[in-house]
Amino acid sequence: MEVKKARKILIVCEGNEEEVLLKIIFQIYPISLGYDIYQYKTNVHLFWKFIKDNYLAHGDKMDDIDVIQLLKEYRHEPFLDNKFTDTAYFRF
């Protein structure tokens, strides 16, 4: 019997009150089926400033940046050590 590993999705979002909105999104787009979902909550404006000051100011291009490593440098959360199959970005 083959055991399927759960697919893991990382959602980068702003704010603390998005739970209701995420539930609505998952009702319309049932991506939560078969996924373990992790939320990285941040202030988008401060996060963007961090990216500009620490990466873009030094000539890095967004397409070349490892997003998971970037998030770890900004604020490490233990769940970031997982390997994610998908990453989504929401601004509420």
Kindly give the confidence (pLDDT) of every residue in the chain, 92 residues in length, as a single tens digit, with 9 standing for 90 and above: 555 667 888 888 886 656 677 777 777 877 656 778 888 988 888 998 999 999 888 888 888 888 899 999 999 999 999 999 888 877 65
Asked if residue 1 belongs to a domain, the reply is no
Asked if residue 47 belongs to a domain, the reply is yes
Q: What is the pLDDT of residue 32?
A: 57
* Residue of 33, 34, 22 whose CA lies nearest to 88: 22
Domain count along the chain: 1
Asked if residue 2 belongs to a domain, the reply is no
The angle subtended at Cα 22 by Cα 20 and Cα 25, nearest 5°, is 115
Q: What is the pLDDT of residue 25?
A: 73
Q: What is the pLDDT of residue 68?
A: 93
Q: Which domain holds residue 48?
A: 7-90
The token pair that represents 85 in the structure block: 């199959």
Q: What is the pLDDT of residue 91?
A: 64
